[in-house]
Chain A
Amino acid sequence: MMKKNIASLIAGFIFALGLGLSGMTNADKVIGFLNLAGDWDPSLAFVMIGAIGVHVVLYRFILRRPSPLFHDTFHIPTSKDIDRDLVVGASLFGIGWGLGGYCPGPGLVSLSSGGVAAVTFVAFMLFGMFLHKLFIKRRTDAEVI
């Protein structure tokens, strides 16, 4: 139990350092990357290249193992549906990302700075996630009726 939780903590810790080093926790830089009209800074495109470059290779080696280190089975998403929720959800997320310069990870990592923007962003992000829970519940209830 303990090992599983520590493994998870280490993953979060390294993830945060990667986000910080890469420039993703610099919201001004993110906005400068997403704003094509200004003095465009394309460097953040290389974050994805670095991350996928490593993970695309290791992913394949890891999945050849019979099971993960601390659990019995791998939990890989199996859904293949390209539905409205996927596209609407991703669209809303992108609008928010372009508006504030934060995606979820960098917002949380930036909390440690105690900055007003990061605290506001995370508070409203959690509220948005909570609203989604209510929204799904209402929708499911409506279907049942």
Chain B
Amino acid sequence: MIESILYAILGGALIGLASSWFLYAKGRIAGISGIVGGLLGVWDSNSSWKLTFLIGLLLGGGLLVLMFPQAIVPPTGRSIYFVAAAGLLVGFGTRLGNGCTSGHGVCGLSRFSTRSLIATCTFMLTGFITATIMGVL
């Protein structure tokens, strides 16, 4: 448990550092759902950096697979239908609510945004309720 907490803090600090670097270099909030969702429309002047951010994420994932493969674990207890439904809900929900764990959670809470605080409390609450119900069933 202690080791798990240390990794969580260290990984979290890296996430905070990446968000800070993004703000410092580009002046923008590192919100992943917004960046990826923004790529689904017509190509504009903001599309290239969104695409390179996504490529960076995938390259980071590639390095993890090579160096630290135990970090990437699928939801073993969930059928593929649940995973598909989860994808739909996450995709639609993050766009409707204008953010996910990164944009509202990390960046929004760091700048004391009330909107982000409400969004974060809401998705944490429904996340806890859903996973707990699924766990009991």
Contacts and interface: CB of A to CB of B under 8 A. Distances in A.
A51 B60 contact: no
Contact of A53 (B12, B55, B65): B12
A37 B132 contact: yes
Contacts of B48: 1, 4-5
Contact of B91 (A82, A85, A129): A129
A50 B68 contact: no
B93 A95 contact: yes
B128 A50 contact: no
Interface in A83-135: 85-105, 107-113, 115-118, 120-133, 135
Interface string B53-75: 11111111111110011011111
B11 to A, nearest CB: 2
Contacts of A45: 8
B114 to A, nearest CB: 7
A20 B68 contact: yes
Contacts of A18: 11-18
B75 A4 contact: no
Contact of A51 (B4, B13, B72): B13
B136 to A, nearest CB: 5
Contacts of B62: 112
Contact of B56 (A15, A34, A49, A80): A15
A47 to B, nearest CB: 4
Contacts of B127: 34, 94-95, 97-98
B14 A116 contact: no
B40 A126 contact: yes
Nearest to A130: B40
Contacts of B50: 8
Nearest to A118: B74
B11 A105 contact: no
Interface string A68-92: 1111011111011110011111111
26 contacts: A14-B21, A20-B68, A20-B72, A26-B71, A28-B75, A34-B132, A36-B135, A43-B1, A47-B11, A54-B13, A55-B110, A65-B24, A68-B23, A87-B122, A89-B93, A89-B96, A89-B98, A93-B123, A94-B127, A99-B131, A104-B102, A113-B65, A129-B37, A129-B95, A132-B37, A132-B91
Interface of B: 1, 4-5, 7-30, 32-33, 36-37, 40-41, 48-50, 52-65, 68-69, 71-78, 80, 82-98, 100-102, 104-111, 113-115, 118-120, 122-132, 134-136
Interface of A: 1, 4-31, 34-38, 41, 43-56, 58-59, 62-63, 65, 67-71, 73-77, 79-82, 85-105, 107-113, 115-118, 120-133, 135
